[in-house]
Amino acid sequence: MNRRQFVQTGSGVVSGMLLLNSRTAFGYQANSAVRHGLLGCGNRGTSVAESFSRNTAAHVVALADLFPDKLAAGCDHFDKLNASLGRQPIDRKLLFHGPHAYEQLAASKDVDLIQISTPPFFHVQHLEAAVASGKHVYCEKPVGIDIQQAHDALEIAKRVKPTQSVDVGFQCRSAPPIAAIAEKIKAGALGKIAVVAGYYYAPASEEKKPVGTSPDEYRLRNWLWDRVLSGDILVEQNIHIIDLCNWMLGAHPVKASATGGRNVLTHYGDCWDNYEVNFTYPGDIHLSFSSTQFGDYGDFDAGLRLYGASGAATVPYSGPIQIKGAQPWAWQDSANTAAGSGKFAANGSFLDNLAFADRDKDRTFIDSITSGSVHNQIAAGVETALSCMLGRMAGYQQREVTWEELLAHGENYELGFSMEQFA
């Protein structure tokens, strides 16, 4: 199967990533375009907002960021992008910076959609303001970095209006080859699944130089190195693979044991640089998950391998996506690529098997707004975030932790400084 066959057979409908009809995707009336406000003008936020602009009826009209230099860079970028698309530059009254920028963006009557691409520690706080404003929301993962935030997010989910669409940034589910093989797996192509192997081997993140000398600014600029701001690599980055496993198995893990540590990295920060986690799912299905985030030698590989009684499936970011066994199947467009041959993308815009992931995720979300068939993905986002927290807690405590123990835990991360200093 290739992408054209996948769409033509109707599999896209079942997998929730059907390409929009031409009127919705490209012919939506200019005066009815979805007015898009970006909260967080960093690398990933800019990449996602640009994808929305190029591939949907969304039009970036407003920007917000804590730091003036990031806001200025974002404004320059989207003014040029808007000009290339025949659109107006961003109105300067719709540029917001400082610790209250998210509230100003939420209060703006000139914005229909808020994209939350701030450091993970702030996702739930910003989600609450965006949902309360009545706007549609696209929130990057994770939905919460500790148990208290996860509980808060579930309460926010209850307050989403029937006319609001709220999506979580699990774009890997929308990649056509991954959506196609997931459908096969869910239909029983592997028989009884017993074991899953997951992995995410990534290079170290680069240092972001602060404009000022404040230690708190340094922390915020280098939030990927800070477990309070990021949730650690298991919750912030590896979450994509664990989400795919949850989705394909139709469940979350019931317990986990883990090891890991900070064995290589020596720069500022307290995030671990490696994890080895054994998750147990209902039915005694085991996911053995391995993760690294260090080094600068170009090594990158991420994906899943699922083993069942009658077949085995490989689901990598790069390399052949296929099923071997009683019901063999392959995604033809990936057949001639080598496993682990992909390049890491710091902005999350990967190629190979994820080449259309952002685009199709964005189109499905905007279609939910323009068609009125709204989504509310907060609870699903929280479930995956909690799954990652389960592994993180097992690693930190060096013992097996159950799902019930996790939910009962009073884990509550504190920022430790006032954001008002950036006013």
C-alpha 366 chain-centroid distance: 17
Sheet holding 113-116, edge to edge: 95-97, 58-65, 34-39, 113-116, 136-139, 166-168
Supply the pLDDT for residue 12: 45
The two structure tokens encoding residue 417: 């400084």
| Claim to verify: residue 243 and residue 95 sit in the same structural domain | no
The answer to whether residue 24 is domain-embedded is: yes
| Claim to verify: residue 401 and residue 293 sit in the same structural domain | yes
Are 224 and 319 a contacting pair, CB within 8 Å? no
| Claim to verify: residue 207 and residue 75 sit in the same structural domain | no
The answer to whether residue 159 is domain-embedded is: yes
Angle at Cα 383 formed by Cα 276 and Cα 322, nearest 5°? 60
Report pLDDT digits (tens) over 371-404. Answer: 999 999 999 999 999 999 999 999 999 999 999 9
| Claim to verify: residue 177 and residue 45 sit in the same structural domain | no
Out of 172, 205, 220, pick the residue that ends a domain: 172
Q: What range defines the domain where residue 144 resides?
A: 16-172
Q: What is the value of pTM for the model shown?
A: 0.91
The answer to whether residue 336 is domain-embedded is: yes
| Claim to verify: residue 298 and residue 350 sit in the same structural domain | yes
Supply the pLDDT for residue 296: 83
The answer to whether residue 368 is domain-embedded is: no
Supply the pLDDT for residue 11: 44
CA distance 219 to 237: 18
3-state secondary structure of 122: helix
H runs (alpha helix) in 11-122: 11-15, 22-26, 43-55, 68-84, 101-107
Domain count, the chain: 2
The answer to whether residue 87 is domain-embedded is: yes
The answer to whether residue 365 is domain-embedded is: no
CA distance 90 to 70: 15
Handedness of CA 159, 161, 164, 165 (dihedral sign): positive
Residues 6+ apart with CB under 8 A from 64: 37, 38, 39, 40, 41, 71, 95, 96, 97, 101, 102, 104, 105
Strands 34-39 and 58-65, by their bridges, are: parallel
Q: Could you read off the pLDDT tens digit of each residue along the chain, which spans 423 residues? A: 665 555 445 444 333 333 333 333 333 344 469 999 999 999 999 999 999 999 999 999 999 999 999 999 999 999 999 999 999 999 999 999 999 999 999 999 999 999 999 999 999 999 999 999 999 999 999 999 999 999 999 999 999 999 999 999 999 999 999 999 999 999 999 999 999 999 999 999 999 988 888 999 999 999 999 999 999 999 999 999 999 999 999 999 999 999 999 999 999 999 999 999 999 999 999 999 999 999 988 788 999 999 999 999 999 999 999 999 999 999 988 767 766 556 655 655 556 899 999 999 999 999 999 999 999 999 999 999 999 999 999 999 999 999 999 999 989 999 999 999 999
Q: Which helix (H) or strand (E) holds 303?
A: strand 301-308
3-state secondary structure of 412: coil
Exposure letters 293-315 (e unless 16+ CB within 10 A, then b): bbeeeeebbbbbebbbeebebbb
| Claim to verify: residue 118 and residue 208 sit in the same structural domain | no
| Claim to verify: residue 161 and residue 231 sit in the same structural domain | no
| Claim to verify: residue 92 and residue 116 sit in the same structural domain | yes
The answer to whether residue 45 is domain-embedded is: yes
Supply the pLDDT for residue 117: 98
Q: In CATH, what number is assigned to the domain containing residue 297?
A: 3.30.360.10
| Claim to verify: residue 189 and residue 317 sit in the same structural domain | yes
| Claim to verify: residue 122 and residue 235 sit in the same structural domain | no
The answer to whether residue 281 is domain-embedded is: yes
Q: In CATH, what number is assigned to the domain containing residue 101?
A: 3.40.50.720
Out of 157, 172, 187, pick the residue that ends a domain: 172
**85: number of Cβ within 10 Å:** 12
Supply the pLDDT for residue 164: 98
Out of 155, 172, 189, pick the residue that ends a domain: 172
CA distance 143 to 139: 8
The two structure tokens encoding residue 228: 């309070």
Supply the pLDDT for residue 385: 98
| Claim to verify: residue 298 and residue 219 sit in the same structural domain | yes
Report pLDDT digits (tens) over 15-59. Answer: 333 333 333 333 334 446 999 999 999 999 999 999 999 999 999
Supply the pLDDT for residue 44: 94
Handedness of CA 3, 5, 6, 8 (dihedral sign): positive
| Claim to verify: residue 29 and residue 165 sit in the same structural domain | yes
